[in-house]
Amino acid sequence: MTEDEVVALVTEQMVELQAQQSDLQLVRDANAQLAVEGPLRFSVTYGDRTIEDEYDVAILIPRRYPDRVPTVRETGGKVSNTHHRFVNGALCLEAPVEVRRVFAGERTLLAYVNRLVVPYLSAYSYKCLHDRMPHGERKHGPLGILDYYTEFFRTDMPTSLRLLKLLADYDFPRDCTCPCGRGASLYQCHGSTVLRLCGHLSQAGFAVELQDIVETLIRVLQPNKSMSRFLKTFLPSWVPCAPNTGDEQKKSGKGQEAMNAGELHGCFSDAGDLETCSLSDEPAAVMAVREHLDYAGIHKLITDGTFNGP
């Protein structure tokens, strides 16, 4: 779409959005980028508890909207910096592939606000009142991404890593047995669930996520050499390199293609400036994450004889 067509589409969608959120206004920021700014009000019920609150937000509209997903910042200072945010301050509404999957269902500003932004903010308000998230809370960074895939696939951790590896390698052989261990073929078992994610994140994106998850597990769990080698078997068959100089610029064909397309993990905006929620390398932060992992359970799953690698 041309810039004028994007402006026309956003202007049209603002009518629907303002019918529910009358104080949100369409503006242009300092970089002449379209943005929706103002107070966002909501009333959300969790069980027998109703959360009514408001937040000042700025929703940035990418120049390739609606092919690219908007990003949102909370501008009133109510959301803690330690809550789920990207390093540039944008709110980490969901796992990257889930944000794209949800937005693809209805590519409008109203759907983006109601299905992604409001759930994030209302859950945060709930946490402030009750000291816990209404539906549980995932960890930060790659381990939170792993939590998402485990929930989405409804499997244990090793099986989720195997299914994610199928997406990272883009390899779905019809005669493949599903890695969940039930004995059925992939297409008669978890295949349809895996295919629901195809197209919402590039192969490069899945590969980078899988690499980040495995490397973080190795760093946090500090496994012995045998378990470390086992975890590395989950790594994608190819990994696109980050932009660099010298020999590191010699990427594989697929990796170079992905970099040129700006499709690496987290590149939601035209500038491609979003990064994953980062896990600090500080020992205290690593220890805090380790405390929230069921190490004994993970160790049992990884070393169980029924799990012999992807």
Of the three residues 130, 162, 180, the one that is the final residue of a domain is 130
Looking at the structure, tell me whether residues 126 and 147 fall in a common domain: no
Q: Is 310 among the domain residues?
A: no
Looking at the structure, tell me whether residues 117 and 157 fall in a common domain: no
Is residue 174's pLDDT more than 90?
no
- Other Cβ atoms within 10 Å of 187 Cβ, number: 16
The pLDDT, as a whole number, for residue 150 is: 93
Looking at the structure, tell me whether residues 165 and 21 fall in a common domain: no
The pLDDT, as a whole number, for residue 90 is: 93
Looking at the structure, tell me whether residues 118 and 195 fall in a common domain: no
Q: How confident is the model at residue 308 (pLDDT cuts 50, 70, 90)?
A: very low
Kindly list the strands in the beta sheet with 25-28, ordered across the sheet, starting from the edge strand earlier in the chain: 25-28, 34-46, 49-60, 71-74
Domain tally, the chain: 2
Q: What is the pLDDT of residues 72-87, one digit of tens each?
A: 999 999 999 889 998 8
Q: How confident is the model at residue 257 (pLDDT cuts 50, 70, 90)?
A: very low
What is the percent of the chain with per-residue pLDDT over 90, rounded to a whole number? 44
Q: Is 308 among the domain residues?
A: no
Looking at the structure, tell me whether residues 172 and 294 fall in a common domain: yes
Looking at the structure, tell me whether residues 30 and 52 fall in a common domain: yes
Q: Is 171 among the domain residues?
A: yes
CATH number at residue 109: 3.10.110
The pLDDT, as a whole number, for residue 239 is: 54
Q: Is 135 among the domain residues?
A: no
Question: Are 240 and 254 spatial neighbours (Cβ–Cβ below 8 Å)?
Answer: yes
Question: Are 142 and 209 spatial neighbours (Cβ–Cβ below 8 Å)?
Answer: yes
Q: Is 136 among the domain residues?
A: no
* Higher pLDDT among residues 220 and 130, named by residue: 130
Looking at the structure, tell me whether residues 74 and 147 fall in a common domain: no
92: domain range? 3-130
Q: Is 309 among the domain residues?
A: no
What are the backbone dihedrals phi and psi of residue 199, each rounded to the nearest 5 degrees, phi first?
90, -15
Looking at the structure, tell me whether residues 90 and 166 fall in a common domain: no
Q: How confident is the model at residue 164 (pLDDT cuts 50, 70, 90)?
A: very high
Note the pTM of the prediction, 2 decimals: 0.76
Looking at the structure, tell me whether residues 120 and 172 fall in a common domain: no
Q: Where are the alpha helices (DSSP H) in 85-182?
A: 96-105, 109-112, 118-130, 141-153, 157-169
Looking at the structure, tell me whether residues 72 and 181 fall in a common domain: no
Of the three residues 90, 106, 130, the one that is the final residue of a domain is 130
Looking at the structure, tell me whether residues 123 and 145 fall in a common domain: no
The pLDDT, as a whole number, for residue 23 is: 96
156 Cβ contact list (under 8 Å, min separation 6): 150, 301
Q: Is 120 among the domain residues?
A: yes
Q: How confident is the model at residue 240 (pLDDT cuts 50, 70, 90)?
A: low
Of the three residues 62, 95, 130, the one that is the final residue of a domain is 130
Looking at the structure, tell me whether residues 286 and 171 fall in a common domain: yes
Is residue 281's pLDDT more than 90?
no
